[in-house]
Amino acid sequence: MSVQPEDRTTIDMFAARRRGRPRSNPYDRSLQCRVNKRSQRQRDKARGLKRLEVKVPHAIVEHLDDACEQLQLNRAEVMELALRHWLHLGDD
């Protein structure tokens, strides 16, 4: 039987006992990040969301942050509102 890095049942089967405070997660940090990112992508996909990355000038980001403060929303929510308004889309 081989041990897989993401296998919860055999993760510590062949490992020596460690002393000290028990770990809350048996995986190392990089594997935790990969697993968490994978589950985030699956949640977003189930909610019908797609990732969009854009690069904009610093001045626009400052105005966006001001709008976020005034509306008490985060950047993604403000951008979605602005795009819906610009594309003449209603609330779906």
Q: What is the mean pLDDT of residues 34-39?
A: 93
CATH of the domain at 37: 1.10.1220
Range of the domain at 36: 29-86
Residue 33 lies in a domain: yes
Residue 91 lies in a domain: no
Residue 34 lies in a domain: yes
pLDDT, tens digit, for every residue of 40-90? 999 999 999 998 899 999 999 999 999 999 999 999 999 999 999 999 887
The confidence band for 29, taking pLDDT boundaries of 50, 70 and 90, is confident
Q: What is the mean pLDDT of residues 22-50?
A: 89
Burial of 58 (0-12, 13-18, 19+ CB in 10 A): exposed
Angle made by CA atoms 42, 47, 48, in degrees to the nearest 5 = 95
Angle made by CA atoms 12, 13, 19, in degrees to the nearest 5 = 45
Domains: count for the chain: 1
| Greater pLDDT, 28 or 62 | 62
